[in-house]
Amino acid sequence: MSYCVHCGVELADYEKECPLCHTRVLDPYRESNHEPMNLDRLAQNEGRRLNRKFIIWMIFAILMVPFIVTAIISLVSDSVDMSWSFYVLGAELIFFSVCLVPVLFNGLKPWVYVLIDTVAVALFLLLIAFMHNDLSWYLPVALPIALLSGLTVGLIIFIIRHRKLGLYVKLGWLILAISLLPAVIDVCVNRYLTGSFLPVWSWYVTIPLLALGITILSLAGNVRFREWIRRKMFV
């Protein structure tokens, strides 16, 4: 801490002059690591935040206009089938969950956003199945793929945010996490179409990714390998 040379008032680290006698602070050894609290700036930032939320809600309201208009037309006219407006509603809800929820509810855990997006996609697929009066493909194909995709995204976020893992270890685990998604999609689709649990095309994707991920994890502790990667890829 430091004191004013004229009146002896204790000075904060960010103060450039004495708050009592306005004597200029001249101390070459004094570091300023804090900024003074600017109430006008805080009020301005709060206003911007509120304006941003207002703009987001305005965007969502505008996106809801096509659904409301088509719904009114379908209620008024019996000859016009406007059931497709529900697809518009489902797409808008997905847009809201993916793009607008993180802005409106900033500060939540990443897995919460992933969970919201996964539920939104699953509900949209359920809406499509319901509109076509065919739920036979939803449980065996659509729902597992939607849930697994959300789980994969959550796993990717966890790996990226893990501070104790090195760059190459993260890269190896990311490749392994992604490699399982094509295999499960292949199994779900083939099980629905043919009744077999054996994958058909995912071998060509999953096996190379597994081999690459395992190789990177095995060589992650090799200094020469890391140096070679750094020279080749400038990382």
- Give the containing element (helix H, strand E) for 174: helix 167-194
| Cα-based angle 111, 59, 116 (whole degrees, multiple of 5) | 15
Q: In whole angstroms, what separates CA 27 from the centre of its chain?
A: 46
The two beta strands, 10-11 and 2-3, are antiparallel
Question: Under 8 Å CB-to-CB from 77, ≥6 apart: which residues?
Answer: none
Structure tokens at 5: 């040379």
Structure-token pair, residue 108: 């939540």
Q: In this structure, what token pair is assigned to residue 65?
A: 């206009």
DSSP 17: B
pLDDT by residue, tens only, the chain of 235 residues? 677 888 777 777 777 788 778 888 877 665 555 555 454 555 555 555 556 667 777 877 887 787 777 777 777 776 666 667 778 778 878 888 888 788 778 788 888 999 999 999 999 999 888 888 888 899 889 999 999 999 999 999 998 888 888 888 888 899 999 998 999 899 999 988 888 888 889 999 999 999 999 988 888 777 776 676 666 655 4
Name residues whose C-beta falls within 8 Å of residue 223's C-beta, 6 or more positions apart in sequence: none
pTM (global) more than 0.75: no
164-167 LR contacts (CB < 8 Å, sep 24+) = 166/220, 167/235
Which residue has 């969950």 as its token pair? 97
Cα–Cα dist 118/102, whole Å:
14
Structure tokens given for 38: 């600017």
